[in-house]
Amino acid sequence: MSTTTPSAISVQTIIGLEIHVQLATCSKLFCGCSTRYGQPPNTQTCPICQGLPGTLPVINSQAIDLAMDVGLALEMELVSGCRWDRKHYFYPDLPKGYQTSQFDLPITRKGRLEFRDPTNAETICSVRINRAHLEEDAGKSLHGEGVDGGTWIDLNRTGTPLLEIVTEPDLRSAQQAKAFLQQLRTILLYIGVSDCNMQEGSMRVDANVNLRIDNSNETVATPIVEIKNLNSFRNVERAIEFERDRQLQHWRATGERMGQRPKQTRGWDADREITTVQREKEEAADYRYFPCPDLPPVVLSVEQIAERRGKLPRLPQQWKSDLIRVWKLSDYDASVIVEQGRDMAEYFEIVARISQDGKRSANWITQEIMRLLNEQQRAITQFPISAQQMGELVAAVANNELDHARAREIFALWLEQPLSLGEAKQRLGIASISSDEVEQLVADIVAQHAAAIDDYRQGKKQALGPLIAQAKKLNPNVSPAKFREALLRVVEG
Amino acid sequence: MTQQENLPALELSRRIRSGDLSVVESTRRSLAEVAQRNPTLNAFVEVWSDAALTRAAELDHKRVSGESTGPLFGVPIGLKSNLCVTGQLCTCASKMLSNYRPTYSATVCQRLLDADAILLGRTNMDEYAMGSGTEYSIYGPTRNPHFASGPNAVLEGYSPGGSSGGSAAAVASGMVPLALGSDTGGSIRQPAAFCGVYGLKPTYGRVSRFGLVAYASSLDQIGPIATTPEDLELLFQVIQGSDRLDATSLSREKVQQVEATLGHKSLKQLRVGIIREHAEQDLAPTVRRALEETKEYLKSVGATLVEVSLPKQAQAIATYYLIASCEAASNLSRYDGMHFGHRAQVPEKNATLEQVIAASRGEGFGAEVKRRIMLGTYALSHGYAEQYYQQATRMRQAIRQDFAAAFAEVDVLLGPTTPAPAFPIGAHRQDPIAMYLTDQFTVSANLAGLPAISVPIELTNFQPDESRLPVAVQFHAPPCGESRLFAVANALHERNQSAKLGAEA
């Protein structure tokens, strides 16, 4: 975003992101080891991911499928014949001495992602995706945890499939970067390619940031800084904001421009809320990429792509327009539900299908259910009331079999006990009443409250309120609407 | 035990099956032969006597109880020291792996066991298969069985060739009828030629590389060494076949499909291409005569000889050493002293990671391995890769096309395996390039992924002052054309037998 500063310059922040997403495969990229998180160190390894001499990698076809799904979801080009390359560097948690990745022929490239600009709701931002490539993760170095404070190596993560998604530098503010990532995460969750759990490292972000400064006479760009390993959306936002201010200050002090200094890598210190230098690219390793001779190129046939396209789950955008079109939800309600994730959207769809009342279903979900889930920090999949039950309840209200208050009583009971609708009604003494019973009730009330009836007839409309309440007290099963209707027939008749 | 009793594997296995000989007896004979000859030859670097005899007893029991017997039933086999067998040392003749015991077995070793073979021990090699003389080894050089002892022995002896020199010498000396080697640029064929035995480099992808410690992955193939073409084929049939653990292994359907298009050809129908560029090279007189005698023989049995040209042959050695070194530099990155292999004791208390890795690699690798790692690292470096690696890759493609064009004309190609017979041990120690040039006729098959065989040739007469060291010729076939190679070798084997009888008469 542009800001005009007192000295009449305008500053634009230029941001490109690299997102590492751990794919939700059952096994690792090149061997059969499990990818489960949080297991005891070095219990999910084999000779292949340990990099023992003589072992060979074999590609996990599920990783290819999931990468294709991402490519299809982000409207990218899928590259048949994509290659594997080795990226060389020495580090103890990289047992082969190279990482198998994709260098010049990634599995998918050239896509885009659209999202609403958080700073200007009228604007749709479109960010170009440069590429997404597959690679294996390295192990973990546990520094200071060994005997004598030494380093221990855990190879459980070694060989876990990652998809690295690289954007073009199309983002212009920290808020946009955050919104982009939220939208990307929602899509990845909907198509089920990753759990995108940032705490567990299954989604990690690097941000490339620099400034374009418009002076009155020229435009200058500051040197690019790469902020590594951001593990929450908040950190992405804060780190970019910090870096924008730091670079502007540095430019004012030194006038340093792009090209006058090599690309710098910085880390985000979340406690001190600053970025710190990790290394200058000049001293960076030469990775000596070359095609991995152990892995043939991946051929994606037209049929295979078509099949995958056919199986691709509905994307959030599609869900949203379906909710608006089929269930007549407002744009706002549809967004709220869709943003909760696929489980919530599916929950809504079941409730709406059973109740045949989209608006009421949406109200229950966005008001009652989401409030509770929020309070208890739970997911919809852990919610005690099933979508089927909820559908029956909303249907009963929609068909005037229950009033809203009684429905809420049932809802509250269901949170405690797994009962059927019938059982819950019985437990709460809810029964349907005949129109004769309603008329008898009206007659009783009219007889007992002659003064109030007179008030009403003289134009004091609110006089009926206490009568309806009184009726409900006498018989909790009476529908206030029906009672009111019958009462009016008598007093106005 | 006399030389005549060194039976080929087929015959040995037949006698064991018929009950003439027990597996234990046969294994003991093999062990006795090793005990007698190995101190001079240094072909085996480790003999697994206990495991071999235990297994031999199991196999005897299996036969007696009437269970079915595998194609290599009771046959003792030598394994090159770069093949993994669970629990046995696999050192690649390097200090780096001197204590390394794999936790799994190579696919080929498992197939040998499934075929009821006896794994007798592991054989000497050049460190990480980088060399052509079996001299660059922590175990010291292997000697060629020819002129290694007896009245005509030379002081240091002759080289058995390399890098599978231990396997070739073990077979040629009769310690074992069969051995496995690996061939990245000629490492099976050149030692087979030097030692006077048969050696096959299969089509790339026909034999699983899983469990072969990699030197140059796109060139490496495991292959058999034997004293007869029949034995060679027998061992090849056991180890070949697709493997889901090797993504570069050819599927059975693919092999069958290619074999079907190649069809079957009798010797009379065979069109043999004579590689003009090889014939123009500076060849030792006995090698030249071996080629001439082979041509005469093939003509006499009705084959048609056609001169063909492989114009890019002159570039093969440079192309090979670039690609092989690049892949080696990458494959050998894993030896950092961290997870397995040699780790240097660095005296500084706060030694950096880099110091430990550098010292471990500095101490663990020998000079030739370091030379190739440095060459490969340089050739892959930023700014040089285009000039070297990419250029070599394009040349490799051109060499492949040369062969494809030649095989449009002919069924097999004939040329020498090596420019000269075995050299004395140490002859090329000061000149690595001279050593590299001994591979000049073998590297192309690896670059093009083709099968190639080295066939020993019995010369019908010698000049009085001429070397009596073994000589050989080499045949190349199109991909999956191994059966053509076996057919030609079988015919030449018969010719050799009668030439031998003629010489003795």
Same domain, B70 and B106: yes
Listed residues B342, B360, B386: the one ending a domain: B386
pLDDT confidence of residue B439: 92
Dihedral (CA of A27, A30, A32, A35) sign: negative
Query: Could you tell me the pLDDT band of residue B398, with boundaries at 50, 70 and 90?
Result: very high
Same domain, B20 and B143: yes
pLDDT confidence of residue A308: 96
Scanning B29-88 for CB atoms below 8 A from A yields: 82-84
B65 as an active site residue: the answer is no
Same domain, B351 and B307: no
Q: Which residue has the tokens 């269930």?
A: A327
pLDDT confidence of residue B322: 97
Same domain, B331 and B466: no
Whether residue A260 has pLDDT greater than 70: yes
Strands of the sheet with B271-275, listed across from one edge:
B44-47, B118-123, B76-80, B178-183, B221-226, B198-201, B452-457, B471-476, B412-416, B271-275, B304-308
Q: Which domain holds residue B328?
A: 320-386
Same domain, B264 and B251: no
pLDDT confidence of residue A477: 79
Q: What SS3 state is found at B458?
A: coil
Burial of residue B259 (number of CB atoms within 10 Å: 0-12, 13-18, 19+)? middle
Same domain, B242 and B95: yes
Could you tell me the end-to-end alpha-carbon distance of chain B, in angstroms, rounded to an integer?
24
pLDDT confidence of residue A150: 79
Whether residue B46 has pLDDT greater than 60: yes
CB-defined contacts A:B, below 8 A: 103
> Of B94, B132, B163, B360, which one is the catalytic site residue?
B163
Q: For residue B92, which residues of chain A lie inside 8 Å, CB to CB? A: 53
In whole angstroms, give the CA distance from residue A23 to residue A35.
10
Query: Could you tell me the pLDDT band of residue B2, with boundaries at 50, 70 and 90?
Result: very low
In whole angstroms, give the CA distance from residue A443 to residue A490.
8
* Partner-chain residue, chosen from A56, A91, A290, that has the shortest CB–CB distance to B209: A56
In whole angstroms, give the CA distance from residue A406 to residue A392.
14
Query: Could you tell me the pLDDT band of residue B433, with boundaries at 50, 70 and 90?
Result: confident
How close does chain A come to B407, measured CA to CA in Å? 25
Query: Could you tell me the pLDDT band of residue B504, with boundaries at 50, 70 and 90?
Result: low
Count of other CB atoms within 10 angstroms of residue B229: 22
How close does chain A come to B27, measured CA to CA in Å? 28
Query: Could you tell me the pLDDT band of residue A18, with boundaries at 50, 70 and 90?
Result: very high
In whole angstroms, give the CA distance from residue B267 to residue A428.
97
In a domain, B201, yes or no: yes
Q: Which residue has the tokens 């198509």?
A: A191
What's the average model confidence in pLDDT over A9-29? Answer: 96
Which CATH number do you get for residue B434? 3.90.1300.10
- Does this model's pTM top 0.80? yes
Instruction: Name the residue among B46, B124, B59 with its Cα closest to residue B87.
Output: B46
What's the average model confidence in pLDDT over B375-398? Answer: 94
Same domain, B366 and B499: no
In whole angstroms, give the CA distance from residue B20 to residue B28.
15
Q: For residue A296, which residues of chain B lie inside 8 Å, CB to CB? A: 247-248
B163 as an active site residue: the answer is yes
Same domain, B218 and B309: no
pLDDT confidence of residue B279: 77
pLDDT confidence of residue A2: 52
Please report, for residues A253, A263, A275, B357, the alpha-carbon distance to residue A257 in angstroms, rounded to integers and kept in the order given.
Answer: 12, 11, 19, 38
Same domain, B68 and B19: yes
* Identity of the residue numbered A388: Q
Same domain, B111 and B211: yes
Same domain, B190 and B60: yes
Dihedral (CA of A413, A414, A416, A419) sign: positive
In a domain, B392, yes or no: no
What's the average model confidence in pLDDT over B483-494? Answer: 97
What is the share, in percent, of chain B residues with pLDDT greater than 90?
A: 86
Whether residue A1 has pLDDT greater than 60: no
Count of other CB atoms within 10 angstroms of residue B32: 12
In whole angstroms, give the CA distance from residue B439 to residue A100.
31
pLDDT confidence of residue B37: 95
In a domain, B393, yes or no: no
Q: Are B180 and B199 in contact (CB under 8 A)?
A: no
* Partner-chain residue, chosen from B104, B214, B330, that has the shortest CB–CB distance to A98: B330
Q: Which residues contact B345 (CB under 8 A, 6 or more apart)?
A: none
B164 as an active site residue: the answer is no
Burial of residue B432 (number of CB atoms within 10 Å: 0-12, 13-18, 19+)? middle
In a domain, B391, yes or no: no
Q: Which residues of A touch B (CB under 8 A)?
A: 47, 50-59, 86, 88, 90-92, 95-98, 153, 286, 288-290, 293-296
Query: Could you tell me the pLDDT band of residue B4, with boundaries at 50, 70 and 90?
Result: very low
What's the average model confidence in pLDDT over A152-169? Answer: 97
Whether residue B382 has pLDDT greater than 90: no
Same domain, B355 and B458: no
Count of other CB atoms within 10 angstroms of residue B225: 35
Parse chain A into domains and list their residue ranges.
3-302, 314-427, 435-492
Q: pLDDT for A433-489, tens place per residue? A: 777 888 888 888 888 888 888 888 888 888 888 888 888 888 877 878 788 888 888
Q: pLDDT for A390-436, tens place per residue? A: 999 999 999 988 888 889 999 999 999 989 998 988 888 887 777 78
Domains in chain B, number: 3
Q: For residue A55, which residues of chain B lie inside 8 Å, CB to CB? A: 104, 210-211
Instruction: Name the residue among B426, B445, B215, B430 with its Cα closest to residue B330.
Output: B215
